[in-house]
Amino acid sequence: MLEVLEALLSSTLEYFPALVFATLGATLCERSGVVNVGIEGMMRAGAFCAAVASISMPTPLGVMMGMLAGAGMAAVHGALCIHWRSDQVVSGMALNLVATAGGTYLLESLYGPNGTPPIQQLSRWHVPGLDAVPLLRVFSGHSALTWLALVLPLAFHALFYRTPFGLRLRAVGDKPHAVATLGLSVPGLRWLAVLGGGLLAGLGGATLSTAVLDRFEQHTPAGMGFMALAAMVFGRWTPLGALLAALFFSAGNALRIGLASSAPGLLQVIPQGVLLALPYFLTLALLGFQGRRTHAPAALGTPYEQESR
């Protein structure tokens, strides 16, 4: 029983960091009032660049290159959405399409269809005392990113709710004109949030290719960016909500993998396709259950114009 629980927890912690980074990135961006459905594309860019960079440099540096790649995609999004006031959903979907086709093209022309060559995975931390404690030992043997993923939402919570910057960020997503009245730059704040969101999404992608796997594969991140969007809505656009929602989704995923591997007989009763659909179905059901009480920032999706009131 204990082993099963440990296996589930361990599997949850494998899947969780990438999702929580992406969810936090989406939350940060959308709290400033800019819709970001391009998270999937930013993750893909991050995953690809991190893997490619890690071939020729130390992996932690590669992860940073991945983050920069995510921020690069976010810069395009920011230029279109903030500067040129384009439709934010369209811009995000365009980024996804470019990342999908461009990633496929670059991967195949540089390394062949299966994936990049294997790279040095991020080193895994074995905490000396923890290894011996039952249950707690699942926290040992992960990369530093897993620890970061557990701490970062708390840091963001503090940032959002305990600092002047957080107050301004939340205000710019709800009432940008009020922020402008205070003499603060609405585009400036939104740029910070969008670029920060891109860094985080890139980090999420880089986590997939450097910590979960040791390469970039054709289908990375396989829809995790869209899961992050759902987790963001489910977590009501808050950092702690993002943490819990990401934990919930990863646990669901771990449960699915765990069920499939530990009880093969179960697959005779419940087909694998149904198990695969389960997290998405649960999300839909929970969102439907959550109902009309929307928690989205009030100005989400509306481009800001200085002159309009």
Partner 1 sequence: MGEKLRSVLPSVFSVLLALAVCWCFIALTRDAQTATEAYFQMLRGGLGDWPAFLDGGRVALLTRPLGEAAIKASILLLTGLSVAVAFKVGLFNIGAQGQMLMGALVAALVGAWWELPGPLHVLAALLMAGLAGGAWALIAAWLKLARGVHEVISTIMLNWIAVSLVDNWLVVGPLRAGAGTSLSTTGTPEILPSAHLPRLLGDISRLNLGFPLALAVALALWVWLSWLRTGFETRAVGLGAEAARAAGIPVTRRTAEAMGLAGGLAGLAGAVLVLGTELRYPGTLGAPYGFDGIAISLIGNSHPLGVTLSALFFGALRAGGTRMQLLGVHKSYPELIQGLALLFVAGRQVWLALLRNRRRAPQASAQAAPAPGPEVPRA
Phi and psi at residue 143, to the nearest 5° = -80, 170
Dist. CA 189–CA 297, nearest whole Å:
15
Dist. CA 281–CA 304, nearest whole Å:
35
CB 69 within 8 A of CB 45: yes
Dist. CA 43–CA 83, nearest whole Å:
23
Dist. CA 102–CA 131, nearest whole Å:
43
Radius of gyration of the chain (CA): 20
Nearest approach in angstroms of CB 286 to partner 1 is 10
Which is closer to partner 1, CB of 23 or CB of 146? 23
From the list 298, 208, 287, the residue with the least C-alpha distance to 14 is 208
Which is closer to partner 1, CB of 101 or CB of 133? 101
Nearest approach in angstroms of CB 125 to partner 1 is 33
Which is closer to partner 1, CB of 83 or CB of 124? 83
Which is closer to partner 1, CB of 64 or CB of 233? 233
3-state helix, strand, coil in the chain (%, to 5): 75, 0, 25
Nearest approach in angstroms of CB 12 to partner 1 is 20
Which is closer to partner 1, CB of 84 or CB of 161? 84
Tell me the residue type at 116: T
What residues line the site for partner 1 (CB under 8 A)?
37, 76, 80, 83-87, 89-91, 93-95, 97-98, 100-102, 104-105, 108-109, 187, 223, 226, 229-230, 233, 271-274, 276-277, 280-281, 283-284, 287-289, 291-292, 294, 296, 304-307
Dist. CA 191–CA 123, nearest whole Å:
33
Nearest approach in angstroms of CB 13 to partner 1 is 23
Nearest approach in angstroms of CB 127 to partner 1 is 36
Tell me the residue type at 148: L
Nearest approach in angstroms of CB 102 to partner 1 is 6
CB 47 within 8 A of CB 205: yes
Which is closer to partner 1, CB of 210 or CB of 220? 220
Which is closer to partner 1, CB of 163 or CB of 294? 294
Chain centre distance of CA 103:
18
Nearest approach in angstroms of CB 19 to partner 1 is 14
